[in-house]
Amino acid sequence: MNPLGSCKDMHRLVAESMDRRLSLVLRLRVRAHLLFCDACTNFQLQMEWIRKAMRRFDEH
C-alpha cells in the first residue's frame, strides 16, 4: 500500500474537501501526496477553477 495514497483516493478526497472539512490525518495525506504528484495537483486546481466558475455562473 502506498503511504501517500493512490491518485484515485486523492481525487475523491480533493472533491470531498470542497464540501466538508477533512480530518487532520486526511488533510496531511492529501498535502503530502500533492507535493509529489503533479497530476493530482492539476486535478485540485481544475476542481477549484470549476467551482469558482460555477459560483460566478450562479450569480447571473
Domain assignment present for residue 40? The answer is yes
Domain assignment present for residue 24? The answer is yes
Domain assignment present for residue 2? The answer is no
Domain assignment present for residue 20? The answer is yes
Domain assignment present for residue 25? The answer is yes
End-to-end CA distance of the chain: 46
Long-range contacts for 46-54 (Cβ within 8 Å, ≥24 apart)? 47/14, 47/15, 47/18, 48/18, 51/18
- Domain, as residue range, for 49: 7-59
Domain assignment present for residue 44? The answer is yes
**How many domains would you assign to the chain?**
1
Express each pLDDT in 16-55 by its tens digit.
Answer: 999 999 999 999 999 999 999 999 999 999 999 999 998 8
Domain assignment present for residue 1? The answer is no
pTM score: 0.82
